[in-house]
Amino acid sequence: MSDKEISKRARRGSGAMTLRDVAKLAGVAPISASRAINTPDQVSPDLLRKVQDAVNRTGYVPNRMAGGLASSRSKLIAAVVPSTLMSVFMGTIESLNSTLFDGGYQLMLGQSAYSASREELLLESIIGRRPDGIFLTGIMHSKRGRTRLLASGIPVVETWDLTPTPIDMLIGFSHADIGREVAYFLMNKGRKRFAFVTADDERAARRVSAFKLAVAEKGHPEVFVVNVGASRSLKSGRESLLTILRQAPQIDAIFCSSDLLALGVMTEARVQGISVPHSIAVMGFGDIPFVGDMVPALSTVRINGEKIGRLAAQFLIDRAEGKIVTPREIDVGFSIVERDSA
């Protein structure tokens, strides 16, 4: 052991290679090694070679915590989803993560659907990491949450919805428009007596309201609403159809708040010998990958979730790099996918 080492007090760190080690080995200053690694076209070929050499020989991997601390740029983006089990959002997370990764960013994932108290903690733990951006599934409604996010100064993008008062950036679509357009779509097919099967979900509730309104405006009977609570399962869809048959047997079209519920309705219809779409038309929401290949193929509402993820990543990266993002609000719209079930 050299006396330089001995004269120092015991090292605290993790024992991993540091930039200093690399620099020493290359015979250059640490900052030069840093530049060779991070901005290679700002150094001479000679220096670059020496440093690359030292990196290869040591297996050095830069410590991004230290880099982030020094530069105030963490290269981390946080995303909040209600739950990773809700597959509608996973296409968005997939493209978000993928776009971020190509831009040199990493994704931290938080789940909010457990409880309001945990959402509060989640936000705190996210802000504590000083991410360069925050992706939110949905709109942040809680006043405290909005205040905290605003106070943190971290760029935020809210998604999967529209609001006149976004915290910062916004990429979504109008749930009210969907409710209305689906109502028109079904009424144009000659349907007159409607049911709506919905999970407890604030965005779905807005689709319901607009759907009811459009139906009422045309003078049709009131929409029969079945609320399945928190359960978004296929089974709830099956049970809902039974409820409908029992309490409102004259229904001729059912709009569901998710594809899975719609699949449940169709499954039970088959069991009960009810023809879809002849006797009852069924519409889903989400267009999860396989519903178009079922029999009958499910008619549904498609959201371009992949696009939401990609655009959100781009927004966040641009902001992190100090660019001015414009526009700051994008309506990605939706499309009604007409297949066999309606």
Partner DNA sequence: TTGAAAGCGCTAACAA
Partner DNA sequence: TTGTTAGCGCTTTCAA
Distance in angstroms (rounded) separating the CA atoms of residues 140 and 8: 51
The answer to whether residue 44 forms part of the interface with DNA (CB under 7 A) is: yes
Distance in angstroms (rounded) separating the CA atoms of residues 292 and 298: 6
- 108: burial class by Cβ within 10 Å (0-12, 13-18, 19+)? middle
- 250: burial class by Cβ within 10 Å (0-12, 13-18, 19+)? exposed
Find residue 190's DSSP bridge partners: none
Cβ contacts of 298 within 8 Å, gap of 6 or more: 259, 262, 263, 266, 282, 283, 284, 291, 292, 339, 340, 341
| Closest distance to DNA from the beta carbon of 17 (Å) | 7
SS3 category, 60: coil
Q: Which does 263 bind (CB under 5 to 8 A by kind): its own copies, DNA, none?
A: its own copies
Q: Examine residue 131 and say whether the peptide bond preceding it is cis (omega within 30 degrees of 0).
A: no
| Closest distance to DNA from the beta carbon of 66 (Å) | 3
Q: Which does 10 bind (CB under 5 to 8 A by kind): DNA, its own copies, none?
A: DNA
Distance in angstroms (rounded) separating the CA atoms of residues 12 and 249: 74
Pairing between strand 281-283 and 224-227? unpaired
Q: Which 235-264 positions form the footprint of its own copies (CB under 8 A)?
A: 235, 238, 260, 263-264
Other Cβ atoms less than 10 A from the Cβ of 155: the count is: 22
Among the listed residues 62, 184, 205, 340, the single contact to its own copies using CB under 8 A: 62
- 248: burial class by Cβ within 10 Å (0-12, 13-18, 19+)? middle
The answer to whether residue 46 forms part of the interface with DNA (CB under 7 A) is: yes
Stretch that binds DNA, among 62-70, 86-94, 181-189, 266-274 (CB under 7 A): 62-70
| Closest distance to its own copies from the beta carbon of 8 (Å) | 17
Among the listed residues 3, 56, 117, 128, the single contact to its own copies using CB under 8 A: 128
- Left if phi > 0, otherwise alpha if psi is -120 to 50, otherwise beta: which for 17? beta
By beta-carbon proximity to its own copies, the closer residue of 181 and 300 is 300
The answer to whether residue 337 forms part of the interface with its own copies (CB under 8 A) is: no
By beta-carbon proximity to its own copies, the closer residue of 152 and 227 is 152
Among the listed residues 2, 7, 72, 117, the single contact to DNA using CB under 7 A: 72
By beta-carbon proximity to its own copies, the closer residue of 295 and 324 is 295
Number of residues in contact with DNA, rule: CB under 7 A?
A: 36
Among the listed residues 52, 58, 63, 106, the single contact to DNA using CB under 7 A: 63
The answer to whether residue 77 forms part of the interface with DNA (CB under 7 A) is: no
Residues that bind its own copies (CB under 8 A): 12-16, 59, 61-66, 68-69, 72, 74, 76, 83-85, 87, 90-91, 93-94, 97-98, 101, 104, 106-111, 114, 118, 121-122, 124-130, 148, 151-153, 233-235, 238, 260, 263-264, 267, 270-271, 289-290, 293-295
